[in-house]
Amino acid sequence: MKELVQTVQSPLFAGMIPEERQAMLDCTGYHFGTFRKGDIVAFENENIKHIGIVLSGAVDMIKEDIWGNKTMLLRIHQNDLFGETFACGDDNLSVVTFAVSEAAQILFIPFDRVMHSCTHSCKFHHQMIENMVGIIANKNRDLMRKVEVVSKRTIREKLLSYLSIQAQNQESHYIEVPLGRVELAEYLCVDRSALTRELVKMKEDGLIDYDKNCFRIL
């Protein structure tokens, strides 16, 4: 597992060389977890005291209503963090469930050990605190984009908004969507069959072209 830590490119460690990264982790007291697809990393209303870094695989942030309807809010990919928003709250309670969507290896770090400088006052610890603040800000931005997409009235408007954001992120009109049809329907909060029909109509109308998860905005 330590070999994975040496290669992780998480933004939490931005500005640190591998030796500083390992020393920082040793200072915080980290541990690893291995999960299969479908495993739950943390349930809604669970107390969150650690942040997770996905070393491999993927984890979904899911919200479930009282009737059991699930909405995927965000997919956390390799090198990305999760749990930091709740770990820094007053009660540390998660309002979502984190479920493994691809078999994953996860690095867990105590949040309080990240945000409070150690007795050695390591310069790279201060760097990590700055990185964490930036990560929380970026995560809030991503969730605002999610709100922007799902607030659209029609499936077509939601798709155009989502594809527009992906095109901006990838700086190209040729884009690869990181979600399959089922996951995309969950993300957009729409029926999968209705989503598929709308994609066909958009292709016929000359708005987009696509092959599986590869899209071209026309």
**SS3 sequence, 153-187?**
CCHHHHHHHHHHHHHHHHCCCEEECCCCHHHHHHH
Out of 2.60.120.10, 1.20.1270.10, 3.40.50.970, 3.30.420.40, the CATH code matching 2-149 is: 2.60.120.10
- At 9 the pLDDT is 77
- At 6 the pLDDT is 59
Q: Give the β-pairing of 40-42 and 81-82.
A: unpaired
Q: Which amino acid is at 172?
A: S
3-state secondary structure of 102: strand
Question: Are 2-149 and 152-217 in the same CATH fold?
Answer: no
- At 139 the pLDDT is 83
Each domain of the chain, given as residue ranges in start order, spans: 2-149, 152-217
Q: Which of 109, 120, 97, 128 is nearest to 29 (CA)?
A: 109
- At 145 the pLDDT is 87
Burial, 166: exposed, middle or buried (Cβ in 10 Å; 0-12, 13-18, 19+)?
middle
Element (H, E) at 208: strand 208-211
Tens digit of each residue's pLDDT, the chain (218 residues) = 555 555 667 888 888 877 777 777 777 888 899 999 999 999 999 999 999 999 999 999 998 888 888 888 888 999 899 999 888 877 888 999 999 999 999 999 998 888 776 666 566 778 888 888 888 888 888 888 888 998 999 999 999 999 999 999 899 999 999 888 988 998 898 999 999 999 999 999 999 999 989 999 98
Out of 3.40.50.970, 3.40.50.10420, 1.10.10.10, 3.40.50.10490, the CATH code matching 152-217 is: 1.10.10.10
